[in-house]
Copies of this chain bind each other. A is one copy, B any other.
Amino acid sequence: MIKVGINGYGTIGKRVADAVSLQDDMEVAGVTKTKPDFEAENAIKKGYRLYSAISERLEVFEEKGLKVEGTLGELLERCDVVVDCSPGGYGAKNKEIYERYGVKAVFQGGEKKNIAPVSFVASCNYEKAVGADFIRVVSCNTTGMSRLIRIVTSLVDIGRVRATVVRRAVDPKDDRKGPINAITPNPVSLPSHHGVDVQSVMPDVDIVTTAVKVPTTLMHLHSMNFDLKGDMREQDLIEVLRNDARMMLIHSEDGFTSTARIIEYAREVRDRGDIWENCVWEDSISVYGGELYLFQAIHQEAIVVPENVDAIRALMGFEDGDASIEKTNRTLGL
């Protein structure tokens, strides 16, 4: 059993913890929190051992009556792997601690590319990550684009990929940040970093991206465009997408008219309303003038969760990427 610590039981951390719990080859050694809020209470209710991410705050948890097992250091002593789910940018500092304790680590896409030798998307480059000490699971947008590009390239050679990323501004739980009524180029200077980040996973892809931020909390949406170097029938792509467990084909005729309707669907069939798949609108898939166009929606809270599970296996030297992906998919119910 791989002992997995979760450093940061927030939006990503709590999802990774639950996904790890479902695996038969790994277990959650403990999770950390910086403050004793309702998320900390939920962690304990779910049976996770709680640790204080910040040593000095141990007593703050006790004052609230929340049982804490110790500090981050004590958790690391009990772990084979730590999944760093701290806020973006904290990973670099944390890495020094992980190294000191000799614990392998999975970082998230909010960290810089050079924090780990491998920027990871399971279906794209699992083999490169096997046995590494550190892996960076790329961001939700990069994961979604990388998965899709790999699938398209399995059918046809492609030239340039262009994507406009329409970003939900904040996660649903964020009640501080906006904007309330604006569209924000993010960034203004083009191209945006998303394309470069895809290349950290698949260096040979020619991709250019632009991104804007809009006042919604539910999902990102990608308007995707591929130069095709050969023939590909729309129906062939639909077939491949239908058979890929990390892809969900949706159709506006079934009521999937917006990101809100996708989330409504997911609330019925998934804990937390999570969607680990790319949601591709089947009726948007269009080969037109030698190019492929389509829309996909990406659930920023959930899509990297299966990649984190696979990354843990890769770190621990499990060599068969397809087997890991299949196992993760099966346990999550994909």
Residues of B within 8 A of A260 (CB): 172-175, 179, 181-182, 217
Stretch at the interface among A49-57, A120-128, A144-152, A290-298: A290-298
In the bound complex, what is the Cα–Cα distance between A181 and B191 (angstroms)? 27
Within 8 A of B (CB), among A137-190: 160, 162, 164, 166, 168-170, 172-185, 188-190
In the bound complex, what is the Cα–Cα distance between A264 and B252 (angstroms)? 28
- Cβ of A175 and Cβ of B255 under 8 Å apart? no
Q: Which label, helix, strand, loop or mixed, suits the secondary structure of the A interface?
A: mixed
Residues of B within 8 A of A285 (CB): 190
- Cβ of B179 and Cβ of A176 under 8 Å apart? yes
- Cβ of A216 and Cβ of B180 under 8 Å apart? yes
| Binary flags per residue of A251-284, CB closer than 8 Å to B gives 1, else 0 | 0101111111101110111001100000001011
Q: How many residues of A contact B (CB 8 A)?
A: 76
Partner of A208, one of B39, B169, B272, B291: B291
Contacts A190-B288, A289-B206, A289-B208 given; indicate if A184 touches B180 (C-beta within 8 A): no
- Cβ of A216 and Cβ of B185 under 8 Å apart? no
Asked whether A286 is an interface residue with its Cβ less than 8 Å from the other chain, the reply is: yes
In the bound complex, what is the Cα–Cα distance between A162 and B163 (angstroms)? 11
A14 to chain B, nearest CB (A): 7
- Cβ of A264 and Cβ of B172 under 8 Å apart? yes
Listed by A's residue number, 10 A-B pairs whose Cβ atoms lie within 8 Å are A37-B254, A39-B255, A42-B265, A45-B269, A173-B263, A180-B180, A183-B221, A185-B257, A188-B295, A190-B286
